[in-house]
């Protein structure tokens, strides 16, 4: 690939390098980035006496050490390592000379601050490369000025500047002070991919040592002298609100400091898109210890009453909409009955190619199946928590948060403080999966602190988190396929909806591969709050689409992979429509790689295998999953995963992320289920909400990446959705039974 030149005047540089998030400054021991053999060498090096800041992303010490800021908050996806790797490669230094810090939350320096949607590396790729390349250019310019030679004659290698003709050389440290005084260049040249020395080479996570030795990195670890503990009491069911409460018996309990009501979102305010919160009227209990507050919470006497239908305004990133919340105490059985009814009616047409109605009417064979799934809870390992210290003049907050900039806007509105008076520290997150994009718990902490006139740390119990809302919605989809007398797929119809949103992606495969195609959608409104869940909507649609395609392939008497590849060849050579979201070559590529690496035609003795492939979040993933039967119990024995996510920055970390997604997908498909009765969740903790256990995880997982020079396209979400389809298809091979409702090992099939 030829060199990439990007114009980056000072203003443009700040803009281009701020395409994602910032965070809390947390230094780490330089030993964490070293290979064992290098520990002794690095340990004896003293920390620099002086640092020289070259740009917002890096500074160079007077002894050659380099500190690189990671702009995005970390919740296990590895950006604390991979993002600095990108800067370091373009800077052309030795990785062992790098220290990493979490950048502070600063919208001016780091722009849109959000971790999620598999956008971290994708959105930051160009900006981080330019940060490193710009610093390298400025160091070269400083050397050229000092040696009175053309800057184009200066070369860099592993932190050393050299001029071959004169024989002069210097370490970066020698030129850092002068470089820091130079103007940012208008243009820099980025490395060619073939010249990467750090990107594409596995590096250990820079925070591993801190994690395994129990260092206080997470929000739940946050300590502040004099802080009180706070908990919130919310309605026991969706569709109820606070009527009154009696705290007389609570106030006298040991350690209790105060009890009062808070309202997190006022009726007249325009909510932001992530201001999702079903329970805005809460009772706060503030005390000296977690145990004392938990005990008091159990004794609080509260009276609840039904809500009425109400409306509020929401700003959906520049578009104001009116949102209606219906009254009522909803139940899972009622949801499934409603979804079945909606599925029987015409939906809203999202896409139509050809004349599918006529083709279905005259088809030689029609296959029709319906699929459904329940709500799911995120269940992050670290429960929701946040620290707040709010005064009349300013506010300091700290905790695990995916979208600090959005939280800051709501905090400013509710606290009546300008944004510049609100400081948010972002701690490492013990899991996110979309749950921590909704900052209601940060707003609660701030309002409790303000009223208590004290620093407080708000803590949720597991029961609080599981019953408070922000769930993966409940979905339903009906698929139909028409085959002609030669078993060719001639028409395809998908109708999908859910409570309270549709999961439909009308322009994804097999759209574009079938002449006659119809996609319809519908929605059922609800007062149960939902939100982003790892690979939103795709986490349902991938599984059911891929399970259905296997049934169609079987009806057509074709190998499942061959069947998909035939459709993708059609989409490549003679596509239908112009709005297809996916690239057929890349989707076919992961299928072919998975077929090769799994030795598809020759499964292990006793193994029953299924395949699945899906495009989402700009990347492609395919899985071949093998099940063996232990009596009547299916065991996932082996998974071969193929991913095309463009250039892979840190291969080992990328494989770890894919492995986690696969285990998470197997667990949710097999066991995940949150059900409701009269507005209450029937599962409130892990004794009733089944999570995958260690002995139920796949025994072996292989992860393979398509090698190309495409800029990174995202990795956190894409491997998650398709594993559910591969699992469903393997279960059918193992048991002879198709599954149409998740969880697959649930009590019964709801729809079929």
Full 3-state SS string of 39-90: HHHHHCCCCCCCEEEEECCEEEECCCCEEEEECCCCCCCCHHHHHHHHHHHH
Average pLDDT over residues 641-651: 98
Helix-, strand-, coil-residue percentages of the chain, each rounded to 5: 30, 25, 40
In percent, how much of the chain has pLDDT > 90? 88
pLDDT at residue 5 tops 50: no
* Sequence-separated (6 or more) residues with CB below 8 Å from residue 149: 163, 165, 166, 168
Separation of alpha carbons 578 and 576, rounded Å = 7
| pLDDT interval class at 115 (50, 70, 90) | confident
**What three-state secondary structure class fits 342?**
helix
Of all helices (H) and strands (E), which one includes residue 636?
Answer: strand 633-644
Average pLDDT, the chain: 92
- The gap between the terminal CA atoms of the chain, to the nearest Å, is 51
Q: Which residues of 641-661 are buried (b: 16+ CB within 10 A; e: fewer)?
A: bbbbbbbbbbebbbbbbbbbb
State the pairing for strand pair 456-459/228-233: parallel
CATH number (1.10.3720.10, 3.40.50.10800, 2.40.30.170, 3.30.365.10) of 5-206 reads 3.30.365.10
In percent, how much of the chain has pLDDT > 70? 93
Over the stretch 516-571, which tens digit does the pLDDT of each residue have? 999 999 999 999 999 999 999 999 999 999 999 999 999 999 999 999 999 999 99
Separation of alpha carbons 142 and 380, rounded Å = 48
Q: pLDDT at position 27, please?
A: 27
The three-point CA angle 631-634-635 to 5° equals 110
Over the stretch 728-743, which tens digit does the pLDDT of each residue have? 999 999 999 999 999 9
Separation of alpha carbons 403 and 413, rounded Å = 16
- CATH 3.30.365.10 intervals, the chain: 5-206, 224-311+384-467, 338-376+471-735
User: What region, left, alpha or beta, does residue 308 occupy, with left being phi > 0 and alpha being psi -120 to 50 degrees?
Assistant: beta
Separation of alpha carbons 109 and 156, rounded Å = 27
Average pLDDT over residues 90-117: 89
Separation of alpha carbons 565 and 211, rounded Å = 44
Separation of alpha carbons 551 and 556, rounded Å = 9
Separation of alpha carbons 190 and 105, rounded Å = 27
Over the stretch 8-34, which tens digit does the pLDDT of each residue have? 443 344 333 332 222 212 222 333 333
Say what the pTM is: 0.92
Q: pLDDT at position 107, please?
A: 83
Separation of alpha carbons 358 and 337, rounded Å = 30
pLDDT at residue 62 tops 50: yes
State the pairing for strand pair 271-272/310-316: parallel
Helix 651-671, helix 722-735: angle, nearest 10: 50
- For tokens 């392939």, the residue is 553
Separation of alpha carbons 695 and 194, rounded Å = 42
Q: Does domain 224-311+384-467 have CATH number 3.40.640.10?
A: no
Fold exhibited by the domain 338-376+471-735: Aldehyde Oxidoreductase; domain 4 (3.30.365)
Average pLDDT over residues 695-706: 97
Q: pLDDT at position 46, please?
A: 75
Average pLDDT over residues 54-72: 94
Over the stretch 409-459, which tens digit does the pLDDT of each residue have? 999 999 999 999 999 998 999 999 999 999 999 999 999 999 999 999 999
């Amino acid at each position: 690939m030829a060199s990439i030149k990007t114009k980056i005047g000072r203003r443009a540089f700040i803009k281009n390098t701020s395409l994602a998030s910032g965070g809390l400054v947390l230094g780490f021991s330089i030993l964490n980035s070293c290979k064992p053999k290098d520990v002794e060498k690095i340990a004896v090096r003293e920390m620099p006496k002086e640092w020289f800041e070259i740009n917002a992303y890096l500074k160079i010490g007077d002894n050659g050490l380099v500190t690189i800021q990671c702009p995005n908050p970390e919740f296990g996806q590895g950006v604390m390592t991979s993002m600095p790797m990108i800067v370091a490669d373009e800077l052309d230094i030795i990785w062992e000379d790098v220290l990493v810090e979490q950048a502070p939350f600063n919208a001016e320096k780091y722009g849109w601050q959000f971790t999620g949607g598999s956008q971290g590396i994708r959105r930051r790729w160009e900006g981080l490369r330019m940060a490193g390349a710009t610093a390298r250019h400025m160091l070269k310019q400083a050397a050229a000025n000092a040696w009175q030679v053309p800057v184009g004659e200066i070369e860099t290698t592993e932190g050393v500047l050299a001029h071959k003709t004169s024989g002069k050389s210097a370490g970066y440290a020698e030129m850092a002070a002068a470089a820091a005084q130079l103007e940012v260049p208008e243009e820099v040249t980025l490395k060619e991919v073939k010249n990467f020395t750090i990107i594409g080479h596995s590096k250990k996570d820079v925070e591993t040592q801190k994690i395994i030795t129990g260092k206080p990195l997470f929000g739940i670890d946050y300590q502040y002298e004099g802080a009180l503990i706070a908990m919130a009491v919310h309605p026991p069911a969706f569709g109820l609100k606070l009527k009154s409460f009696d705290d007389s018996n609570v106030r006298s309990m040991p350690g209790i400091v105060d009890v009062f009501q808070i309202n997190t979102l006022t009726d007249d305010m325009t909510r932001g898109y992530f201001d999702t919160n079903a329970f805005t009227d809460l009772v706060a209990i503030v005390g000296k210890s977690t145990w004392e507050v938990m005990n008091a919470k159990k004794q609080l006497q509260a009276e609840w009453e039904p809500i009425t239908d109400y409306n509020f305004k929401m700003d959906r990133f520049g578009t104001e909409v009116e949102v209606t919340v219906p009254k009522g105490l909803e139940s899972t059985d009622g949801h499934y009955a409603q979804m079945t009814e909606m599925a029987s009616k015409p939906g809203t047409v999202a896409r139509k190619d050809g004349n599918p109605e006529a083709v279905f009417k005259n088809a030689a064979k029609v296959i029709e199946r319906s699929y459904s799934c329940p709500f799911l809870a995120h269940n992050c390992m670290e429960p929701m928590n946040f620290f707040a210290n709010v005064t009349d003049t300013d506010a300091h907050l700290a905790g695990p948060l995916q979208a600090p900039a959005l939280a800051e806007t709501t905090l400013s509105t509710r606290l009546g403080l300008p944004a510049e008076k609100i400081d948010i520290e972002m701690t490492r997150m013990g899991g996110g999966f979309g749950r921590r994009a909704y900052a209601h718990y940060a707003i609660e902490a701030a309002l409790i602190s303000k009223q208590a006139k004290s620093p407080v740390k708000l803590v949720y119990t597991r029961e609080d988190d599981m019953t408070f809302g922000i769930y993966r919605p409940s979905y339903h989809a009906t698929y139909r396929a028409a085959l002609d007398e030669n078993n060719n797929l001639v028409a395809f119809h998908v109708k999908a909806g859910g409570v309270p949103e549709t999961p439909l992606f009308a322009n994804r495969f097999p759209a574009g591969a079938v002449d006659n195609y119809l996609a319809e959608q519908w929605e059922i409104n609800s007062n149960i709050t939902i939100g982003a869940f790892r690979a939103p909507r795709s986490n349902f649609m991938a599984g059911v689409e891929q399970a259905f395609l296997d049934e169609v392939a079987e009806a057509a008497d074709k190998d499942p992979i061959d069947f998909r590849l035939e459709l993708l060849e059609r989409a490549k050579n003679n596509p239908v429509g112009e709005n297809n979201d996916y690239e057929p070559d890349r989707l076919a590529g992961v299928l072919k790689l998975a077929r090769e690496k799994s030795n598809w035609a020759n499964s292990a003795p006793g193994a029953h295998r299924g395949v699945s492939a899906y495009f989402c979040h700009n990347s492609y993933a395919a899985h071949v999953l093998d099940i063996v039967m232990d009596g009547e119990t299916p065991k996932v024995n082996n998974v071969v995963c193929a991913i095309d996510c463009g250039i892979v920055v840190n291969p080992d970390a990328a494989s770890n992320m894919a492995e986690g997604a696969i285990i998470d997908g197997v667990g949710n498909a097999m066991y995940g289920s949150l059900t409701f009765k009269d507005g209450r969740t029937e599962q409130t903790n892990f004794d009733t909400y089944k999570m995958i256990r260690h002995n139920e995880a796949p025994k072996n997982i292989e992860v393979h990446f398509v090698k190309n020079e495409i800029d990174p396209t995202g990795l956190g979400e894409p491997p998650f959705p398709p594993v559910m389809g591969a699992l469903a298809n393997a279960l059918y091979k193992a048991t002879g039974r198709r599954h149409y409702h998740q969880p697959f090992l649930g009590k019964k099939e709801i729809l079929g």
